[in-house]
Amino acid sequence: MSLNHAQTEAVAHNEGPCMVLAGPGSGKTLTIAKRIEYLIMKYKVRPEEILVITFTKYAAQEMKERTRRICGPSSYAVTFGTFHGIYYGILKWAYRLEPSNLLTDEEKYRMLRTLLPKVGWDQEPETDEEKDYLQELAAEIGNVKNNCMAIEAYEPVKYTTEKFRALYKDYEEEKKKCRKIDFEDMLIQCRDLFFNYPDILKKWQDKFRYILVDEFQDVNQAQYDVVRMLAEPQNNLFVVGDDDQSVYGFRGAKPGIMMEFMKDYPKAKRVLLDINYRSSAYIVNGALRVIGNNKIRFEKKIEAFQKADETVHVQEVKDPVQEAEYVLGKIKECQEKGIAYTDIAVLYRTNVDARAMSELMMEYQIPFVMKEHLNNIYEHFIAQDISSYFHLSQGEYSRKYFLQIANRPNRFFSRDSMKGGTVTYDSLREYYRDKNWMTDRVDQLEWDMKMIKDKTPYAAIQYIRKHMGYDEFLKDYAAYRKISVEDLFAVLEEIWQNSKGYRTIGDWFGHVERYGEILKEQNCKKNAAEGVNLMTMHAAKGLEFDTVFVIEADEGSSPYKKAVTDEEIEEERRLFYVAMTRAKRKLIISYVKEKNGKDMTPSRLCLNYSSTSDSSNSWESIHSSKASAAISYSSSSSMLPRSGSPSSVSLY
């Protein structure tokens, strides 16, 4: 297991701080493992004095196994753990904490839900959206702690400042009453413990004289503060990371922390692992061209160990369904060439972008594995509304269907008018027999259900939207709930577009049922090994595959629509860089021209552009590019009928 020059230089570092810039596929795990071996064998460091910190339990276990294969029994006393695991262990020792002192996610959400009315919160969630809403709220609270900020100085991103600060204070007080700590408290309280009790800090400094940190670009301020204190006074701090892969800004991670390391330790050794052993030359060069547009980064010159193989391909498709068809066709080609499903990955910015792909894979019975839980769009309240209308149109007069849609749009039907297990139009007319205007509304509902009874699902949804006023209802609903109407319409449009191809409402019901069953099965076996890998760009970090598809590379998807500042756009570019560099041999990027009834613009992230160009000008620039053919661009004439021949140009 030979090392290259840069790896050898990092491994042989003796004492004092050292930062290793390790790009994708540069052998950082091997470098860390060999570094541990060197400390033990060459410098005679006691294994129990070495601490290795990672971000996930999986990474910690992988690092431990790799080190033991290289070092053997001499490394068994080395401590491996995550930031939270190590810091919680210190707190547990200091305060005699028990598992019951840890606040579970469910307990946290329940606590927040109880506290919202007490502070006069004006953005309380609907039941349908409650879990996601509380998760986002909890993440915002965690962000305060991860950045080591006083709540009085913190400006929330989404919420009213005054009420968020009040909620934060009440939440912290409630935890104290219950003698609970949450996930972020493990960092903050460990930091406070070391600040307030120097003797305890000294104990742990004496125990861990050599500290190695993996994925250093992902540390937040609290994690960095604690690890710096632990490393004193010898400062034998060996950090390995890539600022170009810092993608956890929502957790407080910033590439600027890596920059600060060299300021905090001006005499620190810096080593660049400058050979990518994973990806072909075209992929490496194309990815570097993308990330090179970021301003906050260390400049790097990375060489590919693998020869230039297939060009990186950018594919234009009409919509997500045709994109899925295109990708599945390419997957079939891969399989015919002997590439296993497990060595293929489809990456996307958010889980929403995977819906069309997952539905089509289910229809064609292509096995796939999802690393993250994918929400079933047909469980959204909008889908439930559509489904209830469909059931009523088919003569299924269950009370729950009437209750679901009675006032969507508002017909002013009362719950008292719908009693018993079954409700009929006649029973509604009888209830409102003295109110002609109400019986007229019952008559209209009955008529509308007759109108959609024999329509295709696509035509029926269109009728519900335009003739029954459902679009207007969503606008009023969004205004009342103070939520994004665009997000609601995106869900509705997706359901509507996905209904194409089903001839009858019964066919649509069958699809929804099958989709739910298969999705539930997929979510249960997400850690299984067989099948094409479907995952977000975040989840793909640290992994590698022979063939990678990056889908929906459009403005609004990637970069994500909520990324507006320069800092946020740079993180989106880093995330796209991560996605590109997961590929070893073949990389295909696709973008859609149309989604949910709206025209889309190709992502600026996959285009050859200057920092001063807007996205439209950037796209124009690829048609005149004369650079070496590292990336090809095309639109398939078989999928997108148009005059002229499909274009193919060099992008990098």
> What percentage of the chain's residues is helix, strand, coil (to nearest 5)?
55, 15, 35
| DSSP assignment letter at 236 | -
**Does position 234 have pLDDT exceeding 70, yes or no?**
yes
Question: Which sign, positive or negative, has the C-alpha torsion 314, 317, 319, 325?
Answer: negative
Classify residue 292 by burial, with Cβ atoms within 10 Å: 0-12, 13-18, 19+.
middle
Please state at what angle helix 57-71 crosses helix 28-41, rounded to 10 degrees.
Answer: 50
Q: Rounded to an integer, what distance in angstroms lies between the CA atom of residue 405 and that of residue 395? A: 15
**C-beta of residue 65 within 8 angstroms of C-beta of residue 36:** no
Q: What is the mean pLDDT of residues 332-337?
A: 94
Q: What is the mean pLDDT of residues 125-146?
A: 77
| DSSP assignment letter at 560 | B
In the prediction, which pLDDT does 623 show? 29
Q: Rounded to an integer, what distance in angstroms lies between the CA atom of residue 55 and that of residue 34? A: 20
Q: What is the mean pLDDT of residues 309-333?
A: 91
Q: Rounded to an integer, what distance in angstroms lies between the CA atom of residue 544 and that of residue 526? A: 17
Query: What are the CA-CA distances from residue 440 to residues 396, 410, 443, 466, 645 (Å)?
Result: 21, 14, 5, 19, 58
In the prediction, which pLDDT does 482 show? 77
| Segment (H or E) for 211 | strand 210-213
**Does position 65 have pLDDT exceeding 80, yes or no?**
yes
| Segment (H or E) for 203 | helix 198-207
Place of tokens 């335009």: 466
| DSSP assignment letter at 644 | S
**Does position 32 have pLDDT exceeding 70, yes or no?**
yes
The type of residue at 561 is K
Q: Of 316 and 252, which is predicted with more confidence? A: 316
Token pair listed for 568: 């946020």
In the prediction, which pLDDT does 131 show? 73
192: confidence class by pLDDT, cuts 50, 70, 90: very high
3-state SS class at 102: strand
Each residue's pLDDT tens digit, 146-190: 888 889 988 887 788 988 999 999 999 999 998 899 988 888 899
**Does position 640 have pLDDT exceeding 50, yes or no?**
no
Token pair listed for 566: 């320069």
Token pair listed for 477: 């609903």
Each residue's pLDDT tens digit, 370-405: 877 777 889 899 999 999 999 999 999 999 999 999
Token pair listed for 88: 């919680």
| 212: β partners | 52, 238
In the prediction, which pLDDT does 118 show? 83
In the prediction, which pLDDT does 524 show? 64
Q: Rounded to an integer, what distance in angstroms lies between the CA atom of residue 3 and that of residue 35? A: 11
Q: What is the mean pLDDT of residues 435-440?
A: 94
Q: Which of 190-199, 240-249, 534-543, 591-600 has the lowest mean pLDDT?
A: 591-600
**Does position 637 have pLDDT exceeding 50, yes or no?**
no
**Does position 625 have pLDDT exceeding 50, yes or no?**
no
In the prediction, which pLDDT does 631 show? 52
Q: What is the mean pLDDT of residues 410-429?
A: 91
| DSSP assignment letter at 566 | H
Q: Rounded to an integer, what distance in angstroms lies between the CA atom of residue 274 and that of residue 27? A: 10
In the prediction, which pLDDT does 608 show? 46
DSSP letters along 136-199, please? HHHHHHHHHHHTT--GGG---SSS-HHHHHHHHHHHHHHHHHHT-B-TTHHHHHHHHHHHH-HH
**C-beta of residue 461 within 8 angstroms of C-beta of residue 499:** yes
The type of residue at 391 is H
Q: Which is nearest to 319 in space by CA: 353, 362, 349, 346?
A: 353
Query: What are the CA-CA distances from residue 354 to residues 87, 128, 230 (Å)?
Result: 36, 21, 42
Q: Rounded to an integer, what distance in angstroms lies between the CA atom of residue 380 and that of residue 124? A: 18
Q: What is the mean pLDDT of residues 536-540?
A: 93
In the prediction, which pLDDT does 475 show? 93
Q: Rounded to an integer, what distance in angstroms lies between the CA atom of residue 317 and that of residue 242? A: 33
Q: Which of 110-119, 168-177, 315-324, 364-373 has the lowest mean pLDDT?
A: 364-373
**C-beta of residue 357 within 8 angstroms of C-beta of residue 327:** yes
**C-beta of residue 558 within 8 angstroms of C-beta of residue 576:** yes
**Does position 546 have pLDDT exceeding 90, yes or no?**
yes
**Does position 617 have pLDDT exceeding 50, yes or no?**
no
**C-beta of residue 387 within 8 angstroms of C-beta of residue 512:** yes
Percentage of residues of the chain with pLDDT beyond 70 = 90
362: confidence class by pLDDT, cuts 50, 70, 90: confident
Q: Which of 300-309, 367-376, 500-509, 542-551 has the lowest mean pLDDT?
A: 367-376
In the prediction, which pLDDT does 443 show? 96
Q: What is the mean pLDDT of residues 275-304?
A: 93
Where do runs of H (alpha helix) occur along 249-280?
255-264
**Does position 315 have pLDDT exceeding 80, yes or no?**
yes
**Does position 519 have pLDDT exceeding 80, yes or no?**
no
Q: What is the mean pLDDT of residues 305-311?
A: 85
Each residue's pLDDT tens digit, 259-287: 899 999 999 999 999 999 999 999 999 99
Token pair listed for 397: 């007069």
Token pair listed for 608: 């050859």
Q: Rounded to an integer, what distance in angstroms lies between the CA atom of residue 317 and that of residue 91? A: 53
Each residue's pLDDT tens digit, 549-597: 999 999 999 999 888 899 999 999 999 999 999 999 999 999 999 887 7
Percentage of residues of the chain with pLDDT beyond 90 = 60
**Does position 635 have pLDDT exceeding 70, yes or no?**
no
pTM, entire model: 0.79
Residue 21: CB atoms within 10 A of its CB come to 25
Token pair listed for 388: 């209830």
DSSP letters along 376-444, please? -GGGSHHHHHHHHHHHHHTT--BHHHHHHHTTSS-----GGGS-SSB--HHHHHHHTTT-HHHHHHHHH
Buried b (16+ CB within 10 A) or exposed e, 573-593: bbbbbbbbbbbbbbbbbbbbb
**Does position 345 have pLDDT exceeding 80, yes or no?**
yes
| DSSP assignment letter at 554 | B
| DSSP assignment letter at 88 | H
**Does position 143 have pLDDT exceeding 80, yes or no?**
yes
Cα-atom radius of gyration of the chain, to the nearest Å? 28
CA angle centred on 110, ends 108 and 115, rounded to 5°: 95
**C-beta of residue 237 within 8 angstroms of C-beta of residue 265:** yes
